[in-house]
């Protein structure tokens, strides 16, 4: 059963009286990303200046049927759009850039600070939204400092994520330096030693007031699986394959994709790419010089028949069982160029996003029914998450040594785990850690951090087709109710003068029971309605709302007694 | 998006010509359990005798909104109910017993062969179904052989699952012995050595024609986590707790529950049980002498205030975030006797059933918002699955040494992995392994196994409220469509004589957009309808179906252009 998840209302636990309650402080608010995975957006405000970090979207869950995306609520920012001095984008994933086309106009189209690759990904997406304003970019690089406004400037540093050109930020503010490393994980050299620790040390050496850290991996013990190990496992599988190799992965896992193509080259296989989003991502990355292949390594899809099976590798989208993606089409025998062969080795190199288990199962079933050899990350170490787990988070804490800590990105439990890590590792007191929520205003004082009671609007804004925000709680509740038990529309035609029934009531129903096969029940409903109407006094003018309530209640109860189901009853009174 | 998962149609791959095509063979059919997890039911047929194993249900998935359960299709068996000689139940989980109350009558109420505990669990459940016939039991024990009919007899042997009294079966048939161990895993002694291997050896020594093995764990490498390790981890957590301990787990994990209570006794904590299903399961098990506690260990829920927090352990249902279960009520502050305290240690000792990720996340968030200490199996080894993983499956194969192999229970991919294990471990050829599907008839000959083309009805039978099977594909498809985009009912009242519109069209809509806030769109729809009607020639009798089609198509297209959504359009014509 789909249930509306309610959030229990508990007052913020840590509300210290600051030792130095400065008159001046920086306000920090996350508009999304704190009570979900995705929809990442936050801002800093000081006097009449606002600086935004990320403008992401969230993919809908079972509770939001029919919804395309969920985007942050920017009503507070909209009212102050002249104050917005810039948007910093940490990397090119949709949960960090995806709401830009919907919100850029409302935010007054301020300059976007992003790396070259991130810029290109945003531009590419913007092509699908001709009505959204043309973004203005300020290209940034690790090591650079950009003056953003009178009070805010930012120094950028490179981080490793699973998309190239992820960037971390030291935000220089009037109360001190705030560090937001975006999303990251460590990469390891062949000896298993983490690379790039000196960058983190350097960041820490700048003097850090507050560190904000992604909590997505805070429940996961240990270190990330090294991409080097993932690559070695993939190479082993590739070497064992005697026919074609098909690899399904996320179109955004560009680092992985690059490595797969390199291994293919090493083994003398041509690579073809099936899936629009992956093709365009690879194109962008290649144009910027990130992916460097030999000429002729990548061949067009329709050329695959010119090569022997053991000289081919096919990269495809759809490892999550998405219905229209490439791998699903292949599995269902609907792909134009690719049919499954028994000699195929098919590798799913991505974890399963919760909610997709059944689709991925179906994908694996259909592929293996056709005799292919399937490998999934569960069976071998062929996936590594993009989010730093506990030991990496702790290492960053130790190297940055902030005075205060704000766990960001992820559900409350994940953030509370991250807060615990900070208590242990940084010896911070609970009042030196701000466990905030979406929309809550946090005051960053020189001498402390304080979660206030001030709540800005941060509820879901849903995108459905062309509508932004027009699908609200009522519509969603109706969708869920309709899905559970269906509905019955009962149309009663009455004489305006005498309230007499003019016509056998019309009944239509969907999602309840198949009425064509339940003529008897239909007849009973009609009899009931006649009964209800016959008991209404005729000497007074017809009260249509009253009649509707009677029908709704009595027919609802009758159907419940008969079936133990509660379809939505929609009575209509036609007065002639 | 919810998608209907389609199964690709591939002819069974292994259709060997048997060396000895005997005239006489045993027919084997699984009616469920092969293309899903759950709904386990299979039968053997020889001449005019049928023997059934398990009659389980399946819990609905996202594709089946509003459905309570899915049960096996028994139309083939119903037509031959006089031939049914018995039902063997392997253990007391709902995916093995749950469809009995719905189907016992249709199967002619044959004797049920089950262990004592399984009998009690079935009886208890039967109380909720006063119209289902009183079951007739034949109590069985490991080591016993029961004559079931002229051609079938069964020898039972004990297996370890995560509910006590799981039982395996050697089915003696005219073509040889068929072994079906039910669901099992190994248990290990304190030195990590598997216990009970001599039983498996003994089974193998009987001479085995076909082995059928649960495939649920066939993708999982290695051995099961020993319950001893789980218990040691739990004890460590219990010892570290300074306040109350709350443990959420499945009500059916009776072995685990028993151990938890024993550890509590050891640490001097009283135990109370919150959750009806867990209470009654513990009661049954205790009555049968499985769980032996000191008097006074278990205290009533309303007595908890008489004990110090560090002298209490609360066992509760709802570790999956089920909306009405105990732990969810506690998390939401709605439990009568238990409110969360900051000093509580709350342990979720069960894996997450796919589909419940979001609910469990919400549960953990709400509990940790209230300051409790939460531990989940991901963070510590506090869960162990009930299904043998690869190395245990291989050990059983080696000890049983069957001539033929049929992987059962689980999706196709899992079963194909199990088949691969059998090829490797037993050196079986593909044609000695029957990879069948629900409803397909498998012939078990003396000299081989053969998956035929004969398909018995095996499609889903859905239980929704009092209805069994009355919710079919059409109703479900409508429910899913309603959930995606909602619906619009358009009621047009026309003069029967002249086809003239008598009244402004009534429009009701649910789950589409909030019409009250979209008056303009409503007006446009009404104008469109008048336009459609005005273009219908008035000189011929009104064709209501034609008018409905026009409205459905044109209003549907209009709304799609306006909103890029496709609500279900339901036109109604009232002729007066």
In this predicted model, what pLDDT tens digit does every residue of B45-54 receive, in sequence order?
999 999 999 9
Closest by Cα among A99, A40, A134, A61 to A476: A61
Distance from CA of A177 to the nearest CA of B (A): 29
Which has more pLDDT, B498 or B186?
Answer: B186
User: If you average pLDDT over each of A39-48, A458-467, A501-510, B279-288, which comes out highest?
Assistant: A39-48
Reported as a single tens digit per residue, the pLDDT across B407-423 is: 999 999 999 999 999 99
Q: What is the pLDDT of residue B5?
A: 62
- The mean pLDDT value for B106-121 works out to 97
Question: Among B361, B419, B560, B564, which would you mutate to test the A interface (most chain A Cβ atoms within 10 Å of its Cβ)?
Answer: B361
Distance from CA of A219 to the nearest CA of B (A): 7
Q: Which chain A residues are closer than 8 Å to B365 by Cβ?
A: 7, 35, 411-413
Is there a single domain that holds both residue B457 and residue B496?
A: no
Helix (H/G/I), strand (E/B), else coil: B375: strand
Say if residue B555's pLDDT is above 60.
yes
Q: Which chain A residues are closer than 8 Å to B68 by Cβ?
A: none
- Count residue pairs from A and B with Cβ separation < 8 A: 240
Q: What is the pLDDT of residue B24?
A: 87
Q: How confident is the model at residue A2 (pLDDT cuts 50, 70, 90)?
A: very low
Q: Which candidate from B362, B376, B413 shows the least CB-CB separation from A365? A: B413
Reported as a single tens digit per residue, the pLDDT across A104-148 is: 999 999 999 999 999 999 999 999 999 999 999 999 999 999 999
Range of the domain at A527: 486-575
DSSP letter string over B465-478?
Answer: TTEES-S-HHHHHH
Helices (H), A26-142: 75-78, 94-97, 100-103, 116-126
Average pLDDT, chain B: 91
Contact A412 B368 (CB under 8 A): yes
Q: What is the pLDDT of residue A291?
A: 81
Is there a single domain that holds both residue B45 and residue B125?
A: yes
Q: Which candidate from B369, B475, B506 shows the least CB-CB separation from A412? A: B369
Residue of chain B minimizing CA distance to A565? B465
Reported as a single tens digit per residue, the pLDDT across A350-366 is: 878 777 888 899 999 99
Distance from CA of A408 to the nearest CA of B (A): 14
Distance from CA of A328 to the nearest CA of B (A): 11
Whole-angstrom distance, CA of residue A81 vs CA of residue A92: 24
Say if residue B108's pLDDT is above 70.
yes
**Domain contains B12:** no
Q: Which of A376, A395, A422 is the last residue of a domain?
A: A376
Q: What is the pLDDT of residue A308?
A: 97
Say if residue B119's pLDDT is above 90.
yes
Is there a single domain that holds both residue B195 and residue B277?
A: no
Distance from CA of B76 to the nearest CA of A (A): 22
Which has more pLDDT, B495 or B69?
Answer: B69
The catalytic residue among A214, A255, A344, A464 is: A214
Whole-angstrom distance, CA of residue A148 vs CA of residue A127: 27
Contact A514 B470 (CB under 8 A): yes
Helix (H/G/I), strand (E/B), else coil: A233: helix
**Domain contains B357:** yes
Reported as a single tens digit per residue, the pLDDT across A507-538 is: 999 999 887 778 899 999 999 999 998 888 76
Q: What is the pLDDT of residue A4?
A: 54
Is there a single domain that holds both residue A192 and residue A239?
A: no
Is there a single domain that holds both residue B234 and residue B361?
A: yes
Q: Which of B376, B405, B420 is the last residue of a domain?
A: B376
Contact B359 A63 (CB under 8 A): no
Q: What is the pLDDT of residue A20?
A: 53
- The mean pLDDT value for A419-436 works out to 96
Is there a single domain that holds both residue B209 and residue B261?
A: no
Q: Do the Cβ atoms of A28 and A442 come closer than 8 Å?
A: yes
Is there a single domain that holds both residue A262 and residue A395?
A: no
Q: What is the pLDDT of residue A539?
A: 65
Contact A479 B511 (CB under 8 A): yes
Q: How confident is the model at residue A380 (pLDDT cuts 50, 70, 90)?
A: low
Please tell me the least confidently modeled range out of A127-141, A408-422, B277-291.
B277-291
Q: What residues pair up with B212 in beta bridges, in sequence order?
A: B406
**Domain contains B475:** no
Q: How many domains does chain A have?
A: 3
Say if residue B20's pLDDT is above 70.
no
**Domain contains B481:** no
Q: What is the pLDDT of residue A445?
A: 96
Contact B486 A358 (CB under 8 A): no
Q: Which candidate from B355, B366, B574 shows the least CB-CB separation from A493? A: B574
Say if residue B86's pLDDT is above 60.
yes
Helices (H), B486-543: 519-534
Q: What is the pLDDT of residue A379?
A: 58
Annotation marks residue B214 as catalytic: yes
Q: How confident is the model at residue A383 (pLDDT cuts 50, 70, 90)?
A: low
Q: Which chain A residues are closer than 8 Å to B370 by Cβ?
A: 8, 10
Q: How confident is the model at residue B122 (pLDDT cuts 50, 70, 90)?
A: very high
For A89, counting Cβ atoms within 10 Å of its Cβ (0-12 exposed, 13-18 middle, 19+ buried), the class is buried
At A263, which CATH number?
Answer: 3.40.50.10710
For A449, counting Cβ atoms within 10 Å of its Cβ (0-12 exposed, 13-18 middle, 19+ buried), the class is buried
Residue of chain A minimizing CA distance to B481? A483
Reported as a single tens digit per residue, the pLDDT across B130-150 is: 999 999 999 999 999 999 999
Is there a single domain that holds both residue A342 and residue A370?
A: yes
Say if residue B280's pLDDT is above 60.
yes
Q: Do the Cβ atoms of B201 and B401 come closer than 8 Å?
A: no
At A554, which CATH number?
Answer: 3.10.20.580
Is there a single domain that holds both residue B354 and residue B397?
A: no
Degrees, nearest 5: CA angle A524-A526-A528? 70
At A182, which CATH number?
Answer: 3.60.15.10
Is there a single domain that holds both residue A413 and residue A529?
A: no
Is there a single domain that holds both residue B361 and residue B390?
A: no
**Domain contains A117:** yes
The proportion of chain A whose per-residue pLDDT surpasses 70, expressed as a percent, equals 94
Q: Which of A437, A468, A499 is the last residue of a domain?
A: A468
Q: What is the pLDDT of residue A253?
A: 86
Q: Which chain A residues are closer than 8 Å to B66 by Cβ?
A: 483-486, 511, 565
The proportion of chain B whose per-residue pLDDT surpasses 90, expressed as a percent, equals 73
**Domain contains A481:** no
Question: Among A358, A504, A548, A552, which would you mutate to test the B interface (most chain B Cβ atoms within 10 Å of its Cβ)?
Answer: A358
Please tell me the least confidently modeled range out of A303-312, A458-467, B70-79, B173-182.
A458-467
Reported as a single tens digit per residue, the pLDDT across A167-220 is: 999 999 999 999 999 999 998 887 888 999 999 999 999 999 999 999 999 998
Say if residue B94's pLDDT is above 90.
yes
Q: How confident is the model at residue A6 (pLDDT cuts 50, 70, 90)?
A: low
Whole-angstrom distance, CA of residue A307 vs CA of residue A440: 59
**Domain contains B495:** yes
Whole-angstrom distance, CA of residue A203 vs CA of residue A143: 10
Annotation marks residue A387 as catalytic: yes
Is there a single domain that holds both residue B39 and residue B132?
A: yes
**Domain contains B29:** yes
């Amino acid at each position: 059963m789909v249930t509306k998840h309610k959030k229990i209302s508990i007052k913020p636990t840590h509300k210290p009286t600051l030792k130095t309650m400065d008159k001046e402080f920086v306000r920090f608010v996350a508009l999304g990303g704190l009570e979900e995975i995705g929809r990442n957006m936050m801002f800093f405000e000081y006097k009449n200046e606002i600086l935004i970090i990320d403008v992401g979207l969230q993919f809908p869950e079972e509770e939001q049927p029919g919804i395309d995306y969920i985007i942050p609520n920017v009503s507070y920012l909209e009212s102050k759009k002249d104050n917005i001095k810039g948007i910093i984008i940490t990397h090119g994933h949709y949960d960090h850039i995806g709401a830009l086309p919907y919100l850029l106009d409302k935010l007054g189209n301020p300059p976007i600070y992003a790396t070259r690759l991130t810029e290109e990904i945003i531009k590419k997406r913007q092509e699908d939204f001709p009505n959204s304003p043309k973004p203005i970019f300020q290209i940034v690089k690790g090591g650079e400092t950009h003056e953003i406004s009178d009070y805010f400037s930012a120094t950028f540093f490179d981080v490793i994520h699973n998309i190239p050109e992820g960037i971390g930020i030291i935000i220089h503010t009037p109360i001190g330096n705030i560090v937001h490393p975006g999303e990251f994980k460590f990469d390891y050299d062949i000896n298993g030693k983490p690379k790039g620790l000196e960058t983190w040390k350097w960041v820490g050496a700048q003097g850090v007031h507050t560190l904000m850290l992604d909590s997505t991996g805070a429940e996961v013990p240990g270190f990330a699986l090294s991409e080097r190990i993932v690559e070695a496992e993939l190479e082993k599988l590739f070497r064992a394959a005697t026919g074609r190799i098909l690899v399904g992965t996320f179109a955004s896992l560009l680092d992985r994709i690059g490595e797969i193509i390199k291994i293919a080259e090493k083994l003398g296989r041509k690579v073809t790419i099936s899936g629009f989003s992956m093709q365009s991502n690879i194109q962008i990355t290649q144009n910027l010089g990130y992916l460097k292949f030999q000429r002729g390594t990548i061949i067009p899809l329709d050329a695959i028949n010119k090569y022997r099976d053991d000289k081919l590798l096919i990269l495809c989208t759809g490892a999550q069982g998405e219905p229209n993606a490439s791998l699903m089409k292949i599995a269902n025998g609907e792909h134009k160029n690719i049919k499954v062969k028994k000699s195929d080795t098919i590798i799913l190199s991505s974890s399963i996003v919760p909610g997709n288990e059944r689709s991925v199962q179906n994908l694996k079933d259909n592929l293996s029914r056709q005799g292919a050899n399937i490998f999934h990350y569960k069976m071998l170490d062929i996936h590594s998450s993009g989010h730093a787990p506990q030991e990496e988070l702790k290492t960053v804490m130790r190297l940055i040594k902030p005075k205060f800590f704000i766990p960001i990105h992820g559900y409350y439990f994940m953030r509370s785990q991250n807060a615990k890590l900070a208590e242990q590792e940084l010896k911070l007191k609970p009042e030196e850690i701000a466990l905030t929520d979406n929309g809550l205003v946090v005051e960053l004082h020189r001498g402390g951090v304080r979660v206030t009671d001030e709540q800005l609007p941060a509820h879901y804004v849903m995108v459905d087709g062309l509508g932004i925000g027009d699908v609200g709680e009522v519509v969603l509740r109706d969708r869920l109710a309709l899905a559970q038990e269906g509905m019955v529309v009962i149309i009663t035609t009455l004489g305006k003068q005498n309230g007499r029934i003019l016509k056998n009531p019309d009944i239509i129903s969907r999602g309840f029971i198949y009425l064509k096969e339940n003529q008897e029940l239909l007849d009973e409903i009609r009899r009931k309605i006649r009964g209800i109407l016959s008991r209404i006094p005729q000497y007074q003018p017809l009260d249509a709302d009253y009649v509707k309530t009677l029908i709704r209640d009595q027919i609802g109860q009758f159907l419940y007694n008969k079936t133990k189901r509660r379809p939505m009853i929609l009575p209509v009174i036609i007065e002639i």
